[in-house]
Structure 1
Amino acid sequence: MSTKFMLCKFFLISLITLGKRCASTENTRHCVEPKFGHRNCDEQDNAEPTMALVPYNGNNDVLSIFNKPERFFHFAGQDLKISQEWNKFGVAAVVWDAAVVLCEYLDAGNVKLDKKRVIELGAGSGLVGIVATLLGAQTTITDQERALPYLTETVNSNLPENYEGQFTVQALDWQGDLQLFPKPYDVILGADIIYIEETFPDLLRTIEHLSNEDTLVYISCRIRYTRDSNFLKMMSEVFDLKKIHLDRDRDITIYKGKKKTNCKY
């Protein structure tokens, strides 16, 4: 099940990690650090993030970016315009830092996507799935059924006609019937999908179902609470999981997972 819509009900008061925000605008090249080197993530700080209660206020510096009706990016040689509809769909219809950082990582050529079968979970705005498609993947972009009108419009408006047939937008409920997705994927992508503890068992079940021992799983996230780390612990029982990238400015970490060969599932 997508976590984004579940969070809409109680996002009037949000617990947000406070840290450096990206200083440049989306009209610049990726709004990112200059280069993505292959960092040694074993050297990352283990300190807990600084947390603060932030009542929702559209004029708040941290949250005001979500009130922008549109955000602009440049990935895979294409200019992208992502509409944001916070007031209508809440957290499912804005672009989160975790998605941007994952797109930057993909666009830097760190993951082989050309002609790969790729699925994005909890897609929200669909930015990650859009970029994966532009980079040559055969992409399935998923979220809950009620998210599909916004997601479909956003995806279709950003992918040129010559990409028709290379992607699908499809409902996927993590608690639902996964037999609609019978074949494992080459790559599974997820950005900011592990912050509601009640969904963790269903999310892990979904990832297990969609993968085999050759599937690569990329999770981009900001660990907001100690309990968020519980999902990574759960996942590490089934997958070999390691940190592969840290964006310190935005406090986003990307994890890479591959199903353990001795794990029965």
Structure 2
Amino acid sequence: MSDISHPQHLSSSTSTKNTSTEIVLWKYDNPYANYKHDPERIFLLNGYTLRIHQKLDKIVKITQNTGNLVWDGAYILSKYILYHLLNDFTFRENILEFNDTAPQKIRFLELGSGCGLVGLSAWILGGYVVCSELPGEEFEHTKLNIESNVKSILNQQKERFKLESNLKNESDLKVKHEKLEINLRSENIAVYPLNWEELPQDFPHLFPFDIILASEIFYLPHFYKPLIKMIKYFSCPITDNFKEKKGKRKTLVLGIYKDRGLGESAFFDIANKFGKMKVIWINNNWMLNEFNNYSQEYKMFWLIPFE
């Protein structure tokens, strides 16, 4: 992953036949290095350094403790949000056309936030973001990552603003203006415990949302119908004259998953029949240009309501 930031290291190895020490210099892109199970993973996104804590004290399986680690799909989706979302045709046609507010006012809800990387990326884009996770340890882990990174990023933003305030010439001032256009605020991101099998009665945050984020959460088929109910609950209502009502917001689902042979395709059948939503697949050519071959296994999509 080219955006994962790790410092250079000096690694020493001692021969069993003699006492000489060989110094080997290697970088973060060492093909033999694997950072997926480090206690802390470091990401560089949109000029900000994010430190994501992983919980390694429990066994992670596809059916348990999935929020303890940063999954590849979460990193791919994060990069898409920050570097490609605003140019996405489906996004522009269905949200910008019906939304008279600036792009940074997009309202995001992430279902199953895990380590919090995707929600943080939507916030860095300038959105209003609610990250949700199951009550209990999973929620506390998400909250810890979100709160610590928000504090760190705001400090980084403060230092960036100080640096940019010293720019003098006109060309530099133009760059300064563009960078200062999004002013990140802690009140624009929140974490909320959410049980998919129980619709919340006292949800304290602004909704409906513009985009519901779903990163690798389609691996438990018995949750498919409750998940669709949750999506519809937080979506803009669809009326009979929806198509003719110009300016009416739509709620879209932006997601990513890897086909693991667990019946993932059934989710889209349920979304179509039960949720009245159709799928639009996102061309994955951009993944091939920015990631290693593993990205070919991932599929990105939009779910949009019928008109």
Which amino acid counterpart does residue 190 of structure 1 have in structure 2?
A
Partner in structure 1 of residue 4 of structure 2: 26
Looking at structure 1, the residues matched to 37 and 46 of structure 2 have their Cα atoms a distance apart, in angstroms, of 26
Matched, 1:193 2:237: no
Which amino acid counterpart does residue 241 of structure 1 have in structure 2?
V
Structure 1 range deviating more: 206-215 or 246-255: 246-255
Of 47, 59, 69, 1:77 maps to 47
Q: Per-residue deviation at 1:87? A: 1.9
Matched, 1:140 2:116: no
Query: Over residues 229-255 of structure 1, what are the superposed CA-to-partner deviations in whole Å (9 max), with x where a residue is unaligned?
Result: 100121133112111132462211111
Looking at structure 1, the residues matched to 132 and 212 of structure 2 have their Cα atoms a distance apart, in angstroms, of 11
Q: Per-residue deviation at 1:260? A: 1.2
Partner in structure 1 of residue 73 of structure 2: 98
Q: Per-residue deviation at 1:80? A: 0.8
The 3 A distance-change label for structure 1 pair 224 and 80 is same
TM-score where L is the length of structure 1: 0.71
Of 141, 147, 153, 1:156 maps to 147
Looking at structure 2, the residues matched to 150 and 242 of structure 1 have their Cα atoms a distance apart, in angstroms, of 32
The 3 A distance-change label for structure 1 pair 78 and 165 is same
CA RMSD of aligned residues (A): 2.4
Structure 2 segments unaligned to the other structure (5+ residues): 7-30, 92-102, 155-183, 239-249
Structure 1 segments unaligned to the other structure (5+ residues): 1-21, 29-60
Partner in structure 2 of residue 243 of structure 1: 281
The 3 A distance-change label for structure 1 pair 67 and 143 is same
Which amino acid counterpart does residue 215 of structure 1 have in structure 2?
T
Asked if the contact 1:66–1:86 (Cα under 8 Å) also holds between the matched residues in 2, the reply is no
Q: Per-residue deviation at 1:179? A: 3.4
Q: Structure 1 vs Structure 2: percent identity of aligned residues?
A: 25
Q: Per-residue deviation at 1:26? A: 1.9
Asked if the contact 2:228–2:271 (Cα under 8 Å) also holds between the matched residues in 1, the reply is yes
Asked if the contact 1:243–1:254 (Cα under 8 Å) also holds between the matched residues in 2, the reply is yes
Partner in structure 2 of residue 123 of structure 1: 113
Q: Which structure: greater helix fraction?
A: 2
Looking at structure 2, the residues matched to 122 and 82 of structure 1 have their Cα atoms a distance apart, in angstroms, of 16
2:79 aligns to what SS in structure 1? Answer: helix
Partner in structure 1 of residue 267 of structure 2: 231
1:81 aligns to what SS in structure 2? Answer: strand
The 3 A distance-change label for structure 1 pair 173 and 245 is farther
Partner in structure 1 of residue 85 of structure 2: 110
Which amino acid counterpart does residue 82 of structure 2 have in structure 1?
D
Asked if the contact 1:220–1:254 (Cα under 8 Å) also holds between the matched residues in 2, the reply is yes
Looking at structure 1, the residues matched to 185 and 214 of structure 2 have their Cα atoms a distance apart, in angstroms, of 22
Of 206, 209, 213, 2:230 maps to 206
Looking at structure 1, the residues matched to 41 and 146 of structure 2 have their Cα atoms a distance apart, in angstroms, of 14
Asked if the contact 2:36–2:70 (Cα under 8 Å) also holds between the matched residues in 1, the reply is yes
Q: Per-residue deviation at 1:65? A: 4.3
Q: Per-residue deviation at 1:226? A: 5.4
Q: Per-residue deviation at 1:258? A: 1.2
Query: Over residues 117-174 of structure 1, what are the superposed CA-to-partner deviations in whole Å (9 max), with x where a residue is unaligned?
Result: 1100000001000010111001000001111211111011111345211111001111
Looking at structure 1, the residues matched to 277 and 202 of structure 2 have their Cα atoms a distance apart, in angstroms, of 23
Q: Number of residues paired by the alignment?
A: 206
The 3 A distance-change label for structure 1 pair 80 and 201 is same
Determine which structure has greater relative contact order: mean sequence separation of CA pairs < 8 Å that are 6+ residues apart, divided by chain length: 1
Query: Over residues 27-78 of structure 1, what are the superposed CA-to-partner deviations in whole Å (9 max), with x where a residue is unaligned?
Result: 27xxxxxxxxxxxxxxxxxxxxxxxxxxxxxxxx9xx644211111111221
Asked if the contact 1:178–1:206 (Cα under 8 Å) also holds between the matched residues in 2, the reply is no
